[in-house]
Structure 1
């Protein structure tokens, strides 16, 4: 199936082709959102549905009680709709990813979460009307997914400090402070962080490290706008790993600007590598955070799944 020709609008299409396209029945979009979202987010979804309808889409709406039900809802409508629109943040997208991969319908993103790192990576606007225009008139881009122990992820999977941050980061803090809640929580747990020993196996090498955090990135952004590595893209068919091997917790404070910009590969105390297949083993079980949710633990086998998921993105 040529997804681009069947859905997107080519900037060079002829007037005749445009006429034929406009005569076709409207595209049907399954819009998924969190039933328990705060009032402001629910209102944003309502505005988005109004914009999508104005752009000519026919809307089917579902609001599952539990985000874990999202894949089953997507499977239910696989033969009834032309695309899937998800209103939420990276956690909601991660909860839906198995269903999205299975049905292979184009994904439209309404960035209504706190961090919206996948939307940032794909340059999808935060403004509701502009995001809806991307869904209705954008182009399809096939993106990579990361995979660890059978679990897909969009942005990053990590162990160590980030897991402690995830455990301490509350919904109330995210609601009140937005992306600043990530930094504030990081500073709260940083001084208690302790290094752990791990073995990284990649590219035919076995590397033993003493580290405070290991992160394996698929996309470009994570953690509210931090950069995995400066040249990462979400369709480059690779994973990017960094390990923070500092001796004292306060050294991370000096690394923070470089971590934010993705320039940490130049910094002392930071190990970086890239690969398509990476294994991490630890002496004790360590929990692993994927796109902000604790989903698995070490030993961990990471892989990149190239260009597996169609997503609607802006033309520019």
Structure 2
């Protein structure tokens, strides 16, 4: 039983969405929580401010929103000395971080499974004094997020990400970069550099095996033009196929500390949010935030 919990709701969600999902989950949540405070975010960055100032007052933070809201909350919680437990009720377009935690996409089922689940301490990444939970990337990944059509996103949801990816991946432009991985420097070129903690992007599971969000390591992928073509084929396949790229198409590294620089500044995508730029110093903070997860996937 939790003595006090805070539910943060994405203020961009419509009133009917908010009312419906509070009604669906309130009974489940309050059977495990003595006092629950509900707050709606009022502007971009509001959730981060609230948690920086008040997060230590709660035993549990409940996020009703998507990856953008999770990203804000992580930036508010990661700097706290003892972050409270976090429960994600997926209410966004892709819900990638919730998918990585095996949280059911149905909000009522998510509440039931998480309130009866267990706790998993998840690694968090730092990047130039900011934080990310799922990934940091430049090149195609940032272009895809930036090119998503707002009308498509509202009408088609996660399909809008796929459509943007297919358009963006058609004629990728390679760029040069320098990576320093735990002190070892790599100079190369590609169409995407992806530093991942989680294994879902755009509601699709990444085809790269061995990605674990609580092992203290980042998985770093350098994707060439040939790798971009293979990824495009993978995304459009009706049935999954064996992922077996050539070593020259996708290069894979693991590291705890990463430095990334490019000849010209490039926009970076962090958990689906475009506001950072290269260069970047990226570090892994192992087991930084406790998230509630189901005992078994539902």
TM-score (norm 1): 0.83
Q: Secondary structure at the match of 1:114?
A: coil
Per-residue Cα deviation, 1:156-203 (whole angstroms, up to 9, x for no partner): 110001111111113432232222211111122223431111112214
Match of 1:139 in 2: 118
Match of 1:67 in 2: 44
Match of 1:274 in 2: 254
Mapped partners of 1:148, 1:172: distance in 2: 31
Matched-pair contact (CA < 8 Å) for 1:34–1:67: no
Q: Which has the larger radius of gyration?
A: 1
Matched-pair contact (CA < 8 Å) for 1:227–1:262: no
Matched-pair contact (CA < 8 Å) for 2:68–2:271: yes
Indicate how the Cα distance of structure 1 residues 60 and 105 shifts in structure 2: closer, same or farther if over 3 A, else same.
same
Which protein has the bigger helix share? 1
Matching of residues 48-67 of structure 1 within 5 Å: 48-67=25-44
Matched-pair contact (CA < 8 Å) for 1:221–1:227: yes
Q: Secondary structure at the match of 1:273?
A: strand
Mapped partners of 2:226, 2:110: distance in 1: 44
Match of 1:196 in 2: 175
Matched-pair contact (CA < 8 Å) for 1:230–1:261: no
Mapped partners of 1:232, 1:85: distance in 2: 25
Do residues 233 (structure 1) and 233 (structure 2) align? no
Do residues 45 (structure 1) and 25 (structure 2) align? no
| Offset of residue 112 of structure 1 | 0.9
Q: Secondary structure at the match of 2:115?
A: helix
Do residues 89 (structure 1) and 69 (structure 2) align? no
| Offset of residue 76 of structure 1 | 4.3
Do residues 157 (structure 1) and 136 (structure 2) align? yes
| Offset of residue 264 of structure 1 | 5.6
Matching of residues 99-248 of structure 1 within 5 Å: 99-101=76-78, 102=80, 104-227=83-206, 229-246=208-225
Per-residue Cα deviation, 1:201-247 (whole angstroms, up to 9, x for no partner): 21443222121111000122222123173111110110001111126
Matched-pair contact (CA < 8 Å) for 2:64–2:89: yes
| Offset of residue 41 of structure 1 | 3.0
Count of residue correspondences: 291
Match of 1:23 in 2: none
Root mean square deviation, CA, Å:
2.5
TM-score (norm 2): 0.88
